[in-house]
Structure 1
């Protein structure tokens, strides 16, 4: 099966920025520890503090689906609920 690559960016509402930045450390750690995660990068933009560039690679659809399910039930899922997501696969 081909690997899954997701790239794009998120826009974080001003009122959620501190919580998102604080939880992002844990979110990255947990995601990189998932079976099938090859690359997981979320980087705050230097010119727009509310934009974070995202790049993810997973070995297959199953590992990506597991990631999506885990995220929805996580602390990251809660703090990023209002985030505007712009991704392509």
Structure 2
């Protein structure tokens, strides 16, 4: 096998790899869905914590926001962990 045959095979292999990479490139819609999923993974625990905390605070006889603030912070931590685990996959 000559050097020109070896070079031709290497170039053909690189062309196949480049075409495969071009086909598998993420689309705008795919990237938008990915970012939207990350947003929901972060926001939903925060909102759920706020609503649950508000409900628990409404059960108290005097004005209190202790549960609301605490559960919002817990929601932020859970949301951050969700996003981290989703990105790590």
After TM superposition, is the score higher than 0.5?
Answer: no
TM-score normalised per structure 2: 0.31
Which one has a larger percent strand, Structure 1 or Structure 2?
1
Structure with higher RCO (Cα < 8 A, 6+ apart): 1
TM-score under structure 1 normalisation? 0.31
